[in-house]
Amino acid sequence: MKYTHLPHTDIEVSKICLGTMTWGNQNTEEEGHEQMDYAVDQGINFFDTAELYPIPAHPDRHSLTEKIIGTWFKKNGNRDKIVLASKIVGRAEMSKFIRTTGFSRESIIEAVEGSLKRLNTDYIDVYQLHWPERNTNYFGKRGYAHDISDHWEDNIHQVLETLRDLIREGKIRHVGISNETPWGTMRFLEESKVHATLPRAITIQNPYNLLNRLFEVGLSEISMREQIGLLAYSPLGFGVLSGKYLGGRSPEGSRITLFPNYKRYSSKTAIEATQKYYELAMANDLSLAQMALAFVNSRPFLTSNIIGATSIKQLKENIESIDVTLSDEVLKGIEEIHNQHPNPAP
């Protein structure tokens, strides 16, 4: 395994982070425990979860993933060996069964207390805002369109004050943001620069993969210059970049087969680009999945690559991508395909 540091901290994390959002729906508690055991054996010490998980969100299943992690901690007594990240839901139709108050002080405190209880822990290492309260950066939405119905008032200072108080209480250690825009990212950083007592966001968890490199437009420069590390999610684009859906295939039990509404990475242009990436991988004796993951692993703004799997076989292949170094020829080929099919998935 390879390791990096969470920016502005002395916390060392594996460059591969174990994603958990299938546990409690596509995966049982036993399978979740098996994945954590295997990941730790391979040198992974960084787990990412959220109060909303598993996905798709559902009133009967929300927060089951955190509970599964909590029972694993209780069984093994190894909380101190894991760097743990979780998230509070934003205001949205799909999460209103959890709460509807957005990032008010009361909401954040309630969310943290609930996660701590479910996770069987006294603290969370990186606590993240799952998505903005503003009407922006939703799944499937490319770019910003001003919405006059959005009555959000800038409360970023108040949000950071609440998170600061939770840090002082020892319930969280650091703060991260997720699904953010360049403007939102800089606002959070600005507040912590102007007001020294407020915590600085150290990570940003956004999608990044061969089919969606929009992070490179604005956010990558912020990441490098401000040292806010990317936690890349969907590095395989809902499994599309494994190649298993090529040729119109629909593998039984796979994510898009089970949840056909998840079409973000399944447009005609995305499929065309995936075919090109598949051919490039095959020509260089690589699996498409490992080439796609190795590309993400190689980015200078990456802190950790959040992988997910529904089987140990998939998990093994994904973790082994850390040992794959892409040649200059492969990287050139990736750029050529990207120029032909730029960001086909929003």
DSSP collapsed to 3 states, the chain: CCEEECCCCCCEEECEEEECCCECCCECHHHHHHHHHHHHHCCCCEEECCCCCCCCCCCCCCCHHHHHHHHHHHHHCCHHHCEEEEEECCCCHHHCCCCCCCCCHHHHHHHHHHHHHHHCCCCEEEEEECCCCCCCCCCCCCCCCCCCCCCCCCCHHHHHHHHHHHHHCCCEEEEEEECCCHHHHHHHHHHHHHCCCCCCEEEEEEECECCECHHHCCHHHHHHHHCCEEEEECCCCCCHHHCCCHHHCCCCCCHHHHCCCCCCCCCHHHHHHHHHHHHHHHHCCCCHHHHHHHHHHCCCCEEEEEECCCCHHHHHHHHHHHHCCCCHHHHHHHHHHHHHCCCCCC
In terms of Cβ atoms closer than 10 Å to its own Cβ (0-12, 13-18, 19+), residue 196 is: exposed
Alpha-carbon distance of 309 to 315, in angstroms, equals: 5
Q: Of these residues, 3, 53, 233, 277, which one is catalytic? A: 53
Q: Measure the N-to-C terminal CA separation of the chain; round to a whole number of Å.
A: 31
CB distance 250 to 328 below 8 Å: no
Q: Examine the residue annotation and report whether 208 is marked as an active-site residue of this protein.
A: no
Active site residues: 53
